[in-house]
Amino acid sequence: MKVLSKKRLMRQAGFPRRPPPRGAKAVPEGPPQPKGPLERVYQEIAILKKLDHPNVVKLVEVLDDPSEDHLYMGTLCVGLVKQGAVMEVPTDKPFSEDQARFYFQDLLRGIEYCEFSRPPVILPHSL
């Protein structure tokens, strides 16, 4: 489970805690404003929920209570992890060439799936 602090995200991005503008100046004309850190996290959550591949960690549930500061993201690893959660990678014994090839191919399959399943980029000049 990944836990994100909404306040820390806002602070790291340099966004002050101010209410949105109201009235005639509420919608500024010109180029679109950059998204805030929370909007980017919610966009990432929407994309991660759509991914379904054996080499990509599946996002199962997100718990977001508006009255709380934390955002809880629950993931599901389908497969066998012999030694529990992977927090430290042992470096005392390197992988054999066959093991490294196997893991590298899985990694590339997961990246390839993510690359080809993302939505297309729509550029202004292509409209």
- We report the CATH number of the domain holding residue 104 as 3.30.200
Q: What is the pLDDT of residue 32?
A: 59
Asked whether residue 30 is assigned to any structural domain, the reply reads no
Asked whether residue 47 is assigned to any structural domain, the reply reads yes
Q: What is the mean pLDDT of residues 77-94?
A: 60
Q: What is the pLDDT of residue 34?
A: 57
Q: What is the mean pLDDT of residues 102-123?
A: 76
User: What's the total number of domains in the chain?
Assistant: 1
49 vs 124, residue with greater confidence: 49
61 vs 109, residue with greater confidence: 109
Structure confidence at residue 80 as a pLDDT band (50, 70, 90): very low
Instruction: Report CA-CA distances (Å) from 40 to 35, 44, 111.
Output: 6, 6, 20
Asked whether residue 87 is assigned to any structural domain, the reply reads no
Domain span holding position 70: 2-15+35-80+92-122
Which two tokens mark 99?
């093991």
